[in-house]
Structures are given as C-alpha cells and as structure tokens.
Structure 1
C-alpha cells in the first residue's frame, strides 16, 4: 500500500486489511466475488443506490469498490446511533434493499457462504450482517449498506431478525452493557423496526422465534471460528463472557418471547 492509503477500521474478519485510496476501497475479496459483484451491479441497475459499486478485482486476491461517504459507527455505540430516527431509517433501508433484491433474484450456484445463512433458504439474497459497523449514516439517517461478504439466499424475515439482533438490540442487559447506551426499550424498538420496515402481521408473529433461530446460528458461527482457533473470535469470546453469555442471552430471549410478541402485535 502507498503512503496515500487510509486504513479503514471496523469489523472483525477483515480488521487491518481494508484501505481507502481516494474514491476506491480495496479489501480482501470473498471467494464468490464475481457473483457478489454481479449482484451489486444488478442492484444498482435496478435503482438501488445505497451499496458500493464494484470497480474490479486485483491479481493478488483483493476487490475494489466505490467508497461511500458518511459516518459508520464503531462500538461502544454512542447515542446518535441508537436514536429512534436512526432505527426507523435502518428499517426503511432494509426494505428498499429487499424490494430490489427480490427483483434481482439470486444465482443458487454462486457458492454463497453459509456462515450466517438462513437454514430454510430462500430466493432472495439477504445481507445477513446489517450491524452498525456495516451501515453508513448521513445526517443521523442510514443511507447505505456495506460489506456484503456474508450475503446468502434466505427469507426477508431472516434478514430482519439478524438486523434486530444488532439494532434493537436483542441482547440481555448484561450483554448490552458497555456496547450500547443504557435504557433502550427492546420491545418498543423491535416494534419500531417492524413498523418502519412495513412488516406484515404474520411475519410479526413469527419474528421473535426467528430471532431466537438466528441467535442459534450466530452462536454456532462463533463456535466454529473458536474451534478453528481464530484468534479474533477466541479473544472476543473471552472478553464478552464466554459461553455463559450465550446461555444467558438465549434464556433471556426465550423468557421474553411473549413480551416481544405483544409489542409487535398490539
């Protein structure tokens, strides 16, 4: 990298390997980069302007994408990231992505990663990782999504559940402490996300259960990374309370399932 390159911080998997050079971001290319780039170009061709545009692939296994100007939140998340306005804008942006993604369709032969994929599959490509670090904000509102590396076919409801995990957040108070502002009302915020997305009543009734399903998948994902000896995930698991944290979180979600259901439907 040249002296004019700016290292971009954030994320776990590609930490320290993402650089900006002017209007272009260069980062490690996922294995299915050709299919993913075709998808991103199809999104743009169908009017979705809130994602990076592929520029090309380098010979040394990196991808180049357009840089999107704005603010990206890093943990611990400050108050502006968790405002009602921010949450509503995330819901609306996710709905726009899904509407366009449904038109684009998905190539089932493209080798989409299964790390956080919907176990029930689907005909639409889900982002699967709409965490604060992957949302670009302008003037306090979500304006773009980045880092589609974990995108895979699934149900729209699955993507909403994965998004809710980060943005409500669907975390017990002990797990949320230190990462999120205090006093966030999880049932009310889940309702706001559903309302801003325009979620149907049937999907609202299913959402708490799908959040629990998504949490199971996320736990298994961390387990695989830890078993492989990935130092980033080994350290993160230790710093965040080990497997006891996951046990506590999953019990908390199950205990409050009816509370979340009532907030969504009443």
Structure 2
C-alpha cells in the first residue's frame, strides 16, 4: 500500500482488504466477478447510476470499481443515519435498484452466491445486503449502494425484508440497543421504509413473514461461518449474545407479527 492509498473501513468479510486509490476502489473480487461486473454495467444502461462501475480485474484476484463519494454509517450507528428522512430515502433507493434490475436479464450460467439469497429464487438480481455499511449518504439521504458481493436472483420482497432487518431494525429492543440509537419505534419505522419503497398495498401483509424467513436465513449464514471456523463470525457471535440472541430475535418477530402487519396496512 502506498502513501496515497486509503484503507476503507466497515464490513466484516473484507475488513482490512479494501483500499481507495484516487477515484478507484480496489478490493477482493468475488468468485463471480465477471458476471457481477456485467450486471453492474447493465444497471447503468438501465438508468441506475447509484452503484459502483466496474473498472477491471487483476491477475491476483482483486477488482477495481469506481469510488462513490459520501458518508457511510458505521456501528454504533449515528443518529443522522436513523432519521425518518434517511429511512425513507433507503426505501426509495432500493426501489430504484429493483426497477433497473428487473430490466436486466439474469445470467443463468453465473454462480450467484447462495449465502443470503432468496430460497424461492426470483426473476431479478437482488442486493441482499443493504445494511448501513453498504449505503452511501449525501446530504442526509441515501444516494448509492456498494458491495454487491451477495447479490443473487430473488424476490423484491426478500430484498426489502433483508433491508428492513438492518434499517428498522427488525430486532428485539435488547439486540437493537447494542448498535442503534435508543427509542426506535420498529412498527412505525417499518411502515416508513415500506412507504419510501412504494410497496403496493396488496403485497404488504406478507412482508412480516418474509422478514422472519430472512432472519432464519441470516442465522443459518452465521451458523455456517462459525461451523467453518471463521474467527470473525465466531467472535461476533460470542460478543453479541450467542445463539440466545438469535432465539430472542426470532421469538420477538413471531410475537409481534400482527403488530407489524397492522402498521403496514393502517
């Protein structure tokens, strides 16, 4: 790394391996980088310029992408990232992504990652990891998405459910307090996110169930990483309350399903 290089912080999987070099970001390339780069170029062709543009691949397994200026919220998440307008803008940005992605033909030959993919599949590529660390803000509003490493075909509702998990957040109060500001009203914030996205009324009643399904998928993802000896996830699991925390989150979601449904339909 040269004196001009800037290490970019955030995230777990690629921590310490992502660098900015002027207008370019160099990072580890995912195994399906060529298909993913084709997808990112197609997004721009369909009017979505709020994602990195591919620059190239290196011989040693790295990728170059355009740098997107702005602010990224890192844990513990600051108040500015949790405002009503910020949440609305996240929903709107996700809708813009989906509208462009729906027009892009899925590469059926690509090995899309299954880690957080919709188990039911879908007709468009979803981001699947729209967490605060992967949203670039400008002037207090979500302006761009980064880190498409977990992108895979799925349903719009699945991507929205995954996004809700991080941004509402769809966590029991004890779990949410570890990284988020106090006093967040989950049912009200879920409605704000969904309104920002513009989810049709006829699709809202099913969303709490999809969020529960997405939470199960996230738990299974962590379990696979821990079973495989991943020290980053093993340490995070221990520091954040172990499997008891996941049990508490899942029970809280089930017990409040009607409350969330009522908030979405009111």
Scaled by the length of structure 2, the TM-score of the pair is: 0.99
Question: Separation in 1 of the partners of 2:135 and 2:157?
Answer: 19
Does structure 1 residue 73 correspond to structure 2 residue 73?
Answer: yes
Q: State the shift of 1:201 in Å.
A: 1.7
Q: State the shift of 1:3 in Å.
A: 2.1
Question: Separation in 1 of the partners of 2:179 and 2:99?
Answer: 31
Does structure 1 residue 136 correspond to structure 2 residue 136?
Answer: yes
Aligned residues: 266
Q: State the shift of 1:177 in Å.
A: 1.0
The one-character-per-residue Cα deviations of 1:230-257 (angstroms, maximum 9, x if unpaired) are 0000000000000000000000000000
The one-character-per-residue Cα deviations of 1:195-239 (angstroms, maximum 9, x if unpaired) are 111101222100000000000000000000000010000000000
> Residue in 2 aligned with 1:172?
172
1:63-142 equivalence runs, <5 A: 63-142=63-142
Q: SS at the partner of 1:258? A: helix
> Residue in 2 aligned with 1:42?
42
Q: SS at the partner of 2:102? A: helix
Name stretches of at least 5 consecutive residues in structure 2 with no aligned partner: none
Question: Separation in 2 of the partners of 1:257 and 1:242?
Answer: 24
Question: Separation in 1 of the partners of 2:162 and 2:108?
Answer: 21
Question: Separation in 2 of the partners of 1:201 and 1:7?
Answer: 43
Question: Separation in 2 of the partners of 1:195 and 1:176?
Answer: 22
> Residue in 2 aligned with 1:146?
146
Question: Separation in 2 of the partners of 1:210 and 1:200?
Answer: 15
Question: Separation in 1 of the partners of 2:195 and 2:141?
Answer: 16
Q: State the shift of 1:105 in Å.
A: 2.5
The one-character-per-residue Cα deviations of 1:42-80 (angstroms, maximum 9, x if unpaired) are 001111110000000001100000000000010000100
Question: Separation in 2 of the partners of 1:86 and 1:201?
Answer: 22
Q: State the shift of 1:109 in Å.
A: 1.6
Q: SS at the partner of 1:55? A: strand
Q: State the shift of 1:170 in Å.
A: 0.1
Q: SS at the partner of 1:104? A: coil
Scaled by the length of structure 1, the TM-score of the pair is: 0.99
Q: State the shift of 1:107 in Å.
A: 1.1
Question: Separation in 1 of the partners of 2:48 and 2:249?
Answer: 35
- RMSD over aligned CA atoms reads 0.6
Question: Separation in 2 of the partners of 1:191 and 1:178?
Answer: 23
Does structure 1 residue 17 correspond to structure 2 residue 17?
Answer: yes
> Residue in 2 aligned with 1:51?
51
Question: Separation in 1 of the partners of 2:157 and 2:138?
Answer: 26
Question: Separation in 2 of the partners of 1:63 and 1:182?
Answer: 38
> Residue in 2 aligned with 1:188?
188
> Residue in 2 aligned with 1:236?
236
Question: Separation in 1 of the partners of 2:17 and 2:223?
Answer: 24
Q: SS at the partner of 1:64? A: strand
